[in-house]
Amino acid sequence: MSEDITPFRIDIPQEQLDDLHDRLGRTRWPVALPGDDWDTGVPTTWLRELVDYWRTGYDWRTAEAHLNAFPQFMTVIDDQRIHFLHVRSPEPTAFPLVLTHGWPGSVAEFLDLLGPLTDPGAHGGDPADAFHVVIPSLPGFGFSGPTADSGWDTDRIARTWAELMSRLGYERYGAQGGDIGASVSPQLGRVAPDRVAGVHVNGGATLPPLPLPDEELAALSELEHDRLRRIEAFQQEEFGYIAIQATRPQTLAYGLTDSPVGQLAWIMDKFREWTHPRSVLPDKIIGRDRLLTNVMIYWLTGTAGSAAYVGYAQASGWGVRYPNSGVPTASIVFAHDVAIRRYDETANTITRWVDVDRGGHFAALEEPALLTADIREFFRDLR
């Protein structure tokens, strides 16, 4: 198998963009349900306005140029095409760091972190905190899609990242991630504990095994009780998308791959639920252009099905309780997220824990400066 790493640039044929424009103009809209609010899903009125902007105001070529401003590459690992950004710092003592996104995210999540992480001196920081940054697209997601075979669980992805970092010549490095990345990054520490200096996650890496016995419930703090209630509410009110993606990703893929508005609504539902505060519309928290660029990566690559398949359809791999790697691990928990330290400590060596009263699940998009500062602080003594 070739271990070549080849340069890559995004260059979407104009025919695809013309087709998207045509499809958006011919959308067959459903009748709004009573109230037309978020209680029944994405409101028709709000989505129509966003689609109108997508069709007449959003410029993919600008987004494409922004992405292409950063060096991108392709390689094949374990028979799977892997796309990644690799931005080296100008600082000679920079430390390598691999960032992993989740669902429904993409490498576009991290664009606002690249400058401050790789060149902190130019962004008001200390040059000694510089990183060489590697951002892979998860197998089956975006330009790493589709998947060639099954079995892309946490462990296999982590082993793929270890091989990628080896090919890039990095023998010692850090790992960071949220959502799926918050599972992959600790597992990277387990498969390569002699090479991973530290693991940093946003949102936590381990959820409590529900239901909890009464004696455990009695020991929880008020903050922990609030997070536990929100976990329970999620399982009651929001778990449907996981059930569908985990059991029928192919069936779902027909609608999302054929309808750009369907793909947009499926992803926007989660951006509304998981950004903070929930009462504020997601496009008021994260700019419309960035939201649409993220959706475009799924749409243009036709990877709704393979992303669902990797992210949720192989649940046995995500649910495994792994041993503690001993690698120093940090967690920053923003206001939306629900991590509880005592449960993260069952499988991770927590050396830093920060609770934040603002921000949501998409930390790199919502609070890039705060996330960057916490990453710098954690890795400062691990380089």
Domain boundaries, the chain: 6-379
- Stated as kind and residue range, the H or E segment containing 84 is strand 80-87
Catalytic-role residue among 119, 289, 361, 374: 361
Residues 309-323 as b or e (16 or more Cβ within 10 Å = b): bbbbbbeebeeeebe
Q: Indicate the pTM of the whole model.
A: 0.97
Q: Which one of 58, 173, 312, 343 is the catalytic residue?
A: 312
Structure confidence by residue, pLDDT tens digits, 227-286 = 999 999 998 999 899 999 989 999 999 999 999 999 999 999 999 999 999 999 999 999
179 is catalytic: yes
Q: Looking at the DSSP assignment, which residues form a beta bridge with residue 177?
A: 100, 201
Catalytic status, residue 155: no
How far apart, in whole angstroms, are the C-alpha atoms of residue 272 and residue 274?
6
Torsion over CA: 97, 98, 104, 110 (sign):
positive
pLDDT below 50 — which residues of the chain? none
When the candidates are 2.40.50.100, 1.10.1240.10, 3.40.50.1820, 3.40.50.620, the CATH number that belongs to 6-379 is: 3.40.50.1820
Residues 203-228: b if buried by 16+ CB within 10 A, e if exposed: bbbbbbeeeeeeeeeeebeeebeebb
d(CA 58, CA 370): 28
Distance of alpha carbon 73 from alpha carbon 8, whole angstroms: 5
Distance of CA 205 to the CA centre of its chain: 13
DSSP of 229-256: HHHHHHHHHTTHHHHHHHH-HHHHHHHH
pLDDT for 107-118, tens place per residue? Answer: 999 999 999 999
- Tokens standing for residue 346: 């069952």
pLDDT at 316: 54
| C-alpha–C-alpha distance, residues 304 and 96, integer Å | 30
Write down the pLDDT at residue 318. 55
Q: Do residues 93 and 172 touch, judged by C-beta distance below 8 A?
A: no
Say which of 179, 269, 289, 344 is annotated catalytic.
Answer: 179
Q: Nearest to residue 137, comparing CAs of 145, 126, 129, 128?
A: 145
Q: Report the alpha-carbon distance of residue 61 to residue 55 in Å, rounded.
A: 13
Please state, in angstroms and rounded to a whole number, the distance separating the CA atoms of residues 145 and 134: 18
